[in-house]
A = this chain, B = another copy of it.
């Protein structure tokens, strides 16, 4: 099939446009190195709601509303919403979009959800099934902590390999027509399990998935790091980033300074006490909408590979002794020439 460039990569014939985007983040993220790119920074971790789960949901809704505004697209003109999150049964997405009245596809890609949404969304538009749609996801440190780990009040000590769940959300409007950076290729992740079973070391669990997707992407497109201005992984954190880098170097790739990780970029690890870096669906989503796309708009980068990573485990699977399967979905984003 002509659109397929191999087992995992698809080339889009009419690359969809990213016509609007927004990132809304929490206080800590708003004090980090990327603070100037975010659309809104919250002071209140409850975002005026009664629970952190409701706050997380409102984060998604707020980024969605802002992205629609910036794209000049009322929600009533969207053909689809593609959304998912980390909460059990993806409630922050469903409740965020409950009143949207837009046809809705729920996704579960863990922290890779933004790339999964962009991938499916780009194909829906290129295939002629939609004119405009929204990919949106987010996460919240407090709701994630109590669901995955301990009540915050317990004050559990975090090992150095642990990551800090980003409080934040990102939304992107994809459109058939318009101006803006475009998605030209998507490379879909294969579930990859290297046998890591430490839920406090997600970076190590996800790095092999990122490695599998990046090497497949390069092999199937005939490209390499030289063809990109920057390659962003989702949320490997410092530890996972180092593992990925050595895996790629072993393959002979010269990653140089082009390989970056959203989980490393979003916090200042020296001063912000986040151990290995950021994670969560909101990590790559808010870095994409608050850092990568604004920089592309300014012409700083022209062609970027966005490769968000996810760990497809749960507390139950960890308790049952299962190792942690990872996945990494990638999309090429390119300024119009």
Contacts and interface: CB of A to CB of B under 8 A. Distances in A.
A79 interface: yes
Nearest to A321: B50
A150 interface: no
A89 B107 contact: no
A261 interface: no
Contact of A108 (B95, B106, B327): B106
A322 B188 CA distance: 35
Interface stretch (A29-37, A121-129, A227-235): A121-129
Nearest to A146: B316
B325 A94 contact: yes
Contacts of A312: 89-91, 94-95, 106
Nearest to A9: B103
B188 A104 contact: yes
Interface string A82-105: 001011111100110111111111
A106 B113 CA distance: 9
A139 B325 CA distance: 20
A317 B87 CA distance: 10
Contacts of A298: none
Interface stretch (A189-197, A283-291, A300-308): A189-197
Contact of A188 (B80, B131, B314): B80
Interface of A: 1-4, 7-8, 10, 50-51, 53-54, 79-80, 84, 86-91, 94-95, 97-110, 116, 119-120, 123-124, 126-131, 147, 176, 188-191, 193, 312-317, 320, 322, 325, 327
30 contacts: A1-B128, A1-B129, A3-B127, A10-B129, A50-B320, A53-B316, A87-B314, A88-B89, A88-B315, A88-B316, A89-B314, A91-B314, A94-B312, A95-B312, A95-B317, A97-B191, A98-B193, A100-B190, A100-B191, A105-B107, A105-B109, A105-B116, A105-B120, A106-B116, A106-B312, A120-B120, A123-B123, A123-B124, A124-B127, A126-B129
Contacts of A1: 128-131, 176
A135 to B, nearest CB: 13
A102 B102 CA distance: 30
Contacts of A90: 108, 312
A217 to B, nearest CB: 12
Nearest to A54: B320
Contacts of A95: 312, 317, 322, 325
Given A97-B191, A103-B188, A105-B120, 14 more contacts: A1-B130, A51-B320, A88-B314, A89-B313, A90-B108, A100-B190, A100-B191, A101-B190, A104-B190, A105-B116, A106-B116, A106-B312, A106-B327, A127-B128
Contacts of A193: 98-99
A104 B128 CA distance: 22
A314 B54 CA distance: 13
